[in-house]
């Protein structure tokens, strides 16, 4: 899946569009996406809500799995685990997601979410892993 196709894939999700998530890099089994930090993403402590970071990681991992999925199949989340390491802060969040093992029915993925400051300095804020089920598109 090239970057243009990946952008269309992200744009097809109203939830991701509403959050403002954008893919910025794609390679077989790897996806990088960014989420500009805005006040609408904050929880009561003025840091990014863990749910927004988990969504960024989940969709990025699913997209990484989709790049290796057999023709005619969707990569759908079967299991998701996140560990928030620090508060989500910065100008934007950057998620790097990759496939650890691609299978015929399941793919195992991991991701890191980084808070990126205006000067480009990054701080790791979340680690995630997910099992993606590969299901026929007509199911």
Helices vs strands, H then E, count in the chain? 3, 6
Mean pLDDT of the chain: 96
Task: Tell me the pTM.
Answer: 0.95
Segment 48-107, tens digit of pLDDT? 999 999 999 999 999 999 999 999 999 999 999 999 999 999 999 999 999 999 999 999
**Which CATH architecture group holds 3-136?**
Roll (3.10)
- C-alpha pair distances (Å), 116 with each of 4, 55, 73: 24, 17, 34
Residue of 66, 51, 70 whose CA lies nearest to 8:
66
- C-alpha pair distances (Å), 38 with each of 1, 41, 76, 91: 29, 6, 28, 8
């Amino acid at each position: 899946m090239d970057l243009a196709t990946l952008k269309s894939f992200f744009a097809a999700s109203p939830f991701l569009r509403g959050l403002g998530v954008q893919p910025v890099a794609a390679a077989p089994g790897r996806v990088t996406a960014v989420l500009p930090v805005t006040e609408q993403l904050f929880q009561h402590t003025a840091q990014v809500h863990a749910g927004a970071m988990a969504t960024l990681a989940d969709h990025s991992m699913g997209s990484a799995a989709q790049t290796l999925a057999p023709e005619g199949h969707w990569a759908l989340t079967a299991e998701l685990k996140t560990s928030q390491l620090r508060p989500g802060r910065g100008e934007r969040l950057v998620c790097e997601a990759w496939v650890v093992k691609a299978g015929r029915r399941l793919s195992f993925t991991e991701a890191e979410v980084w808070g990126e400051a205006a000067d480009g300095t990054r701080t790791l804020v979340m680690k995630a892993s997910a099992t993606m089920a590969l299901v026929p598109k007509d199911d």
